[in-house]
Every structure is written in C-alpha cells, then in structure tokens.
C-alpha cells in the first residue's frame, strides 16, 4: 500500500522502493497487488511501467474516494484505505511509515475488530517529523504533531518493521517509540536485485570532470542552499569549463529561476552552461548521469537510506555525497574520505574543489554491502511470517450509562430509544440534569461508566464494541469516533494525543471509563462545551491508558471541544497539564496554548519586536479570560 508508484506521478523514494519491492515479491512467486491511496493519476499509468507490472502479474488498484470528510485532517484517507483492505483482506500488508496509511486498520486489529489474519509490515521511508527535523524547520504545527503520533503508533502496532538503515532505527528509538521485537535492517531493493536483470554499468572514465549534476528532488532538504553556496565559493577558473545540470523532480517552492538566483553573478558567468532536466523517468536520469565526464553531487541534509547514492553505486556512476543520515552506511569505508562531505557551504566547496582538481575524481565508489542480499532477506520475511494469535475477549461487565438532560425532550427520547436498542445486555441507564454528572456517577456501581448528552444517538453496537475493545486491549479508557449530525463529517481521535490534548479533545468522546479511576468530576468553574475533555485530560495525565476506536459509533450535534471554540474549557485542561509538569516547566503549557490561540485568531508569526509584543499582549488577554 503506497501513495507513490513508478509510472504514476508524483513519485519519489517511496514510489521507487515500493515498485522494486513489489517486483521482487512477484518474482518470488507471491500474488502481489499494489493498493494506491494517493491522488489518482490524471492519465493511465505510464505504458512502459504498465507493461512491467502486467508481465510480473502485479495488479494496481486505486483506493476510491469518499463523500464524507474526516477530521482532524491527518486522519484523511485512513478509513477509506481500511475499507479497501477489508473488502479483500491480504495475508500480508506491506505499507509505508510516512503518513501512517494503515493506522486505522492496525488499531482495529489491536482492538480485536478486524484483520486478525493479516500480518502488518511497515517499511521506513521517513516520517513527517523526521523530514521536519532533517530540514531544520523549527516551527511545528498541530497537524504535524498529529501525523507524527499516528506514524509512531503504526510502527508500534506493526508485526514487523523494516528499516533501510541502522540510522533510522536509532532515530525512532530516540523518539521513545516502542518498536516491535522484529525490527529489521534491510536495504532497499535496487532494480537489478528486484528483477534479477543485470543493470548496465558506466564505463570507468579517465580525464577530468566536465559536468556537475545535482542529483535529487529540487527542494531545500536535498541541500540546494549549501550546494549553491559551495559553488559560489569556488574560484571562477575552476568553473570555466564546467557544465552545471540539475536532475530531479521539480517542486513548486523551488522553480528553476529561484534555484538559479542562488548562484552568484560570478559563478553564473564562469560556468559553461546551466540546465535543468526535471521531467525524466529513472532510467533516463541514470543514462544521463552515465555520460562521460559527469560527476553526480548529492548534498542532502539527511537521508533514511539514499536511493540516489544507491543507484550511482549500482551503476558505477562517479559521485560525491553528503555524510548526513544513512548515506555512509551504503559506501565502503575506504571510500568515505574521498566521496563524503559535510552538507554545509564549506563542505560542498572543499569537496568540489578537490573533485575539479583531481584526475581521479571520476573513479566510482564501492558499495558497503551485497545489494542482492536484500532480496534474500525479504524472501525470509514474507516466507516464514505468521500473524500473531490473539486471545478472544471474555466477560460482560456491567456498564453504567449516564445521560445528561439539557431540556430538549425530543433529543432525550431519541437517545434513550437508541440505548434500548443496544445489543449489549448488561447496561444501566441513569438520566440527570445538566451539571449533575456527579449525581449520575453516584447512582450506579458498575465497573465501567459512559457519559452521554441527550443529543447523542449511539449505534446499536456502541456499548458492545467499547467493552470488547477494552477487554482485548486492557485499556483504562476506550473512546470511539463520532459523526456530526449537521454534515457528512466524521471525527476520529488519537486516544493518547500527548501535548495536542492542550488544544482540543483529541482523547475522544464518548468514553467507556474504568470507574475506579474517576476521582470526582468537579471543576473550578462549569464546563461550557465538551465535558469529557477536562475529564479525560486529567485521567491521561494521571497515567490512565486511553485508546480510541477509529470508527464512528455515535452521532451527535456538537463537535469535540477545542481551544478555539471554548477557551474557558481549554483553561481547565491547561490547569491539569500545569499540575502534571515539574514547576520549572509549567510555563511551557501556557506558552503553547497562548501561541496556539494566536494562530487560531489568524496571526502571523512575528519577526520584529513590535510583533512579538503584540502577540504577548494577545496571549495575556486570552489566558486572562
């Protein structure tokens, strides 16, 4: 399952890795289908790649879209991919870590709600947070934190994680993610390793460098800025006979004009020619790099593996590359000093100066491993793997359902009617007036309790599904997704949102809660909107294990609580976070909430003193309320 594929644009490292892995699995004799969840192509898959897939017996299926909006938007496409998988569950699902496309399916499997016979393998190409870190971008928005939480959960819930490098495994461990015991390091498959066809190698050339080719996607993360700065630092006489070419997929942020503007007038005048080739397929790019006198340069700020370096190694293409990330793992140690450099302007300048002055610069580097060994490792992964056996849920504990009445008798009648239709037999329903949740709690003694509002309309299997998920997972709190009555919209939840719980109820609502953990329901002032938000935040910060079923089991009118809609409720949640933090760190919670409030009001990050003062005043006014 992938959102990138060779023969369908846009495509990058994920598409290359997925394509060659699929070809290798088909060559092993497996029945392979590629489930593409990205934007469907405006035209059919490229005929040449279509022929390659057909001859290998690989089917390509695109995930159908839905008329229903999913919020928050980092959950987008996940219910649709789960539905597509549920229609024909595979024996083994191999998917990417980026954007966590299999999260819903993985969570449902963990909670005993499907996919019990499917083995889940997550291949690491680079999570969104890793991309942010390696791009050295300081500002992180809530969307990215949400995606990161889903990516980390997907890796933890997988049966097998396959990383292309030790570097990525160490980075994931630094994030605190609990990776499965079967976390393997297997390099990406090259085309020759996948197909068994020997790829042509570039003839070893004598002579000097005539052409410098920036090889990689045209974006800042691939090192455009230090590359240009390094070129600018070179003596003009070194560049006078050199052609400069950019080979890589284009991006809107970095059109050719902007890239050319990075070069100094002196460098532009000295270079023999500057050109861009951004619409070539992989074989065409490699053929172009194989021209005599060409030196590929890959100054990336970091790589989980380094497909571009891998391809140069396989083809015998001369190159120099950044030493950041996993790239050094690919290259024989004896060649490190000659072909690797720091991804800085100084590092690029020193490496290029040596290459342009060295008659031995076009000698290709050697790989540090046998590329065909990856094929054998994957054969072992899919040949011997079995999905884990899970114990069935047992027991039917009693559940107290407390319904809060607010005065709309027709809504209350609808809610009570839905509760009478529940297919779970052991529930007790209590109706209380608004603000009397505590009385409803004291009226029962069941080990689990659910709080509902009169506007809620639970599905017939609402209580049964919550109880089943709790029994399978052992969680202290189980929440579910919900549908909003006013629009074709469903809302899913993280369950364990970390710091995002400051900004909105990302825990979930409604919730099945272990009664023994509820230590009173009182708040310093009445909750205006979503009463579950401060309650679940407090339970989570006290150590309760919260999971959320990623499917809507209830329909209600009002959306979950958020700082933007109910700032007074957000301040209650903020108070719980402050109590949980060490004294010196408590201001961080207020600072985060205040900055988020500024963003919600449409503010732009200030860059001057007056803007900072205005933002501080806005934060103080908001927290004062």
- Token pair of 512 as six digits: 């099945």
433-490 pLDDT, tens digit per residue, is 988 898 999 999 999 999 999 999 999 999 999 999 999 999 999 999 999 988 788 9
Question: Do 159 and 235 share a domain, yes or no?
Answer: no
Contact 412, 405 (CB under 8 A): yes
Question: Do 328 and 231 share a domain, yes or no?
Answer: yes
Locus of tokens 């800085």: 344
Residue 24: partners with Cβ closer than 8 Å, 6 or more residues away:
189, 193, 194, 195, 375, 378
CA proximity to 131, closest of 161, 183, 158, 96: 96
- Token pair of 56 as six digits: 């290998």
Residue 553: partners with Cβ closer than 8 Å, 6 or more residues away:
458, 459, 461, 462, 465, 466, 480, 481, 482
Contact 294, 272 (CB under 8 A): no
Measured CA to CA, the distance from residue 12 to residue 253 in angstroms comes to: 16
Question: Do 225 and 170 share a domain, yes or no?
Answer: no
Contact 153, 177 (CB under 8 A): no
Output the CA angle 67-72-76, nearest 5 degrees.
45
Strands of the sheet with 183-185, listed across from one edge? 92-96, 119-123, 160-163, 183-185
Residue 575: Cβ-neighbour burial (10 angstroms; 0-12, 13-18, 19+): middle
CA proximity to 63, closest of 104, 16, 109: 104
Assigned domain for 116 exists: yes
Contact 363, 203 (CB under 8 A): no
Give the residue from 563, 589, 610 where a domain finishes. Answer: 563
Half-sphere exposure of 395 (CA within 13 A, CB side): 13
Measured CA to CA, the distance from residue 497 to residue 604 in angstroms comes to: 25
**Beta partners for residue 400, in sequence order:** 428, 449
- Token pair of 456 as six digits: 């809620």
71: left (phi over 0), alpha (psi -120 to 50) or beta: beta
CA proximity to 327, closest of 311, 310, 350, 347: 310
Question: Do 264 and 120 share a domain, yes or no?
Answer: no
Give the residue from 301, 332, 357 where a domain finishes. Answer: 357
CA proximity to 186, closest of 159, 156, 166: 166
Assigned domain for 260 exists: yes
Assigned domain for 394 exists: no
Give the residue from 168, 195, 222 where a domain finishes. Answer: 195
Measured CA to CA, the distance from residue 530 to residue 521 in angstroms comes to: 13
Question: Do 411 and 545 share a domain, yes or no?
Answer: yes
Output the CA angle 303-304-305, nearest 5 degrees.
85
Q: How many residues belong to the chain? A: 625
* Residue-range definition of the domain harbouring residue 92: 13-195
Assigned domain for 384 exists: no
Measured CA to CA, the distance from residue 97 to residue 576 in angstroms comes to: 33
**Beta partners for residue 163, in sequence order:** 185
Measured CA to CA, the distance from residue 401 to residue 107 in angstroms comes to: 25
Give the CATH number of the domain where residue 24 resides: 3.40.50.2000
Question: Do 31 and 165 share a domain, yes or no?
Answer: yes
Contact 60, 36 (CB under 8 A): yes
Contact 98, 38 (CB under 8 A): no
Three-state DSSP class for residue 586? helix
Segment (H or E) for 34: strand 33-36
Alpha helices, DSSP H only, in 38-77?
47-56
Question: Do 80 and 174 share a domain, yes or no?
Answer: yes
Locus of tokens 């879209």: 65
Assigned domain for 388 exists: no
What's the total number of domains in the chain?
4
Assigned domain for 544 exists: yes
Question: Do 49 and 180 share a domain, yes or no?
Answer: yes
- pLDDT, position 294: 94
Assigned domain for 87 exists: yes
pTM: 0.85
CA dihedral 256, 261, 263, 265 (to 10 degrees): 130
Q: Where are the beta strands (DSSP E) in 229-312?
A: 243-247, 273-277, 294-298
Residue 554: partners with Cβ closer than 8 Å, 6 or more residues away:
452, 456, 457, 458, 459, 462, 480, 482, 483, 510
Question: Do 424 and 548 share a domain, yes or no?
Answer: yes
Output the CA angle 267-268-271, nearest 5 degrees.
80
Residue 52: Cβ-neighbour burial (10 angstroms; 0-12, 13-18, 19+): middle
Assigned domain for 63 exists: yes
Question: Do 42 and 89 share a domain, yes or no?
Answer: yes
Question: Do 469 and 517 share a domain, yes or no?
Answer: yes
Question: Do 443 and 526 share a domain, yes or no?
Answer: yes
Show the low-confidence residues of the chain (pLDDT under 70): 40-44, 137-140, 202-206, 391-394, 584-625
Alpha helices, DSSP H only, in 47-177?
47-56, 78-87, 103-110, 128-134, 142-157, 166-174
Half-sphere exposure of 570 (CA within 13 A, CB side): 26
- pLDDT, position 594: 63
């Amino acid at each position: 399952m992938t959102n990138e594929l060779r023969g369908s644009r846009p495509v990058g490292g994920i598409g290359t890795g997925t394509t060659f892995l699929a070809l290798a699995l088909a060559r092993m004799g497996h029945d392979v289908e590629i489930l593409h969840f990205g934007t469907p192509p405006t035209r059919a898959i490229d005929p040449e790649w279509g022929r390659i897939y057909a001859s290998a017996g690989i089917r390509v299926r695109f995930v159908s879209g839905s008329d229903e909006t999913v919020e928050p938007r980092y959950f987008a496409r996940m219910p649709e991919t789960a539905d597509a998988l549920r229609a024909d569950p595979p024996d083994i699902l191999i998917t990417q870590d980026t954007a966590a496309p299999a999260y819903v399916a993985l969570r449902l499997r963990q909670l005993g709600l499907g996919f019990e016979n499917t083995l889940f393998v997550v291949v690491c190409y680079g999570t969104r947070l890793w991309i942010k870190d390696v791009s050295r971008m300081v500002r992180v928005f809530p969307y990215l934190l949400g995606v990161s939480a889903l990516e980390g959960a997907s890796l933890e819930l997988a049966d097998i994680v396959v990383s292309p490098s030790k570097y990525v495994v160490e980075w994931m461990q630094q994030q605190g993610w609990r990776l499965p015991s079967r976390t393997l390091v297997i390099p990406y498959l090259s085309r020759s390793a996948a197909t068994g066809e020997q790829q042509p190698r570039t003839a070893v050339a004598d002579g000097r460098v005539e052409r410098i080719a920036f090889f990689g996607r045209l974006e800042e993360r691939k090192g455009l800025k230090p590359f240009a700065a390094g070129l600018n630092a070179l003596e003009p006489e070194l560049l006078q006979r050199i052609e400069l070419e950019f080979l890589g997929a284009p991006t809107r942020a970095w059109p050719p004009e902007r890239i050319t503007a990075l070069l100094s007038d002196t460098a532009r005048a000295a270079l023999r020619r500057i050109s861009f080739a951004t619409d070539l397929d992989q074989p065409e790019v490699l053929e172009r790099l194989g021209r005599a006198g060409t030196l590929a340069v890959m100054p990336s700020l970091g790589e989980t593996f380094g497909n571009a370096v891998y391809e140069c190694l396989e083809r015998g293409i001369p190159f120099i590359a950044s030493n950041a990330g996993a790239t050094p793992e690919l290259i024989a140690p004896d060649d490190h000093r000659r072909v690797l450099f720091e991804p800085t302007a100084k590092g690029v300048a020193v490496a290029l100066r040596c290459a342009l002055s060295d008659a031995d610069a076009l000698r290709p580097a050697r790989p540090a491993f046998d590329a065909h060994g990856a094929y054998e490792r994957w054969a072992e992964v899919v040949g011997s793997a079995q999905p884990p056996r899970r114990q069935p849920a047992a027991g039917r504990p009693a559940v107290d359902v407390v319904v809060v009445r607010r005065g709309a008798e027709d809504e209350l009648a609808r809610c009570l009617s839905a509760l009478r239709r529940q297919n779970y037999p052991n529930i007790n329903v209590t109706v209380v007036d608004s603000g009397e949740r505590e009385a409803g709690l004291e009226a029962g003694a069941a080990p689990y309790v659910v709080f509902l509002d009169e506007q809620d309309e639970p599905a017939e299997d609402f209580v049964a599904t919550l109880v089943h998920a709790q029994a399978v997972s052992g969680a202290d709190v189980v929440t579910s997704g919900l549908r909003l009555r006013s629009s074709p919209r469903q809302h899913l939840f993280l369950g364990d949102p970390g710091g995002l719980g400051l900004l909105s109820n990302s825990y979930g609502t409604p919730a099945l809660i272990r009664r023994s953990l509820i230590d009173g329901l009182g708040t310093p002032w009445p909750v205006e909107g979503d009463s579950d938000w401060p309650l679940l935040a407090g339970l989570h910060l006290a150590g309760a294990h919260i999971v959320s079923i990623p499917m809507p089991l209830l329909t209600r009118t009002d959306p979950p609580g958020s700082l933007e809609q109910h700032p007074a409720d957000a301040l209650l949640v903020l108070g719980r976070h402050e109590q949980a933090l060490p004294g010196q760190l408590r201001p961080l919670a207020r600072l985060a909430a205040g900055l988020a409030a500024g963003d919600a009001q449409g503010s732009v990050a200030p860059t001057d003193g007056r803007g900072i003062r205005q933002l501080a005043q806005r934060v103080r006014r908001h927290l004062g309320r």
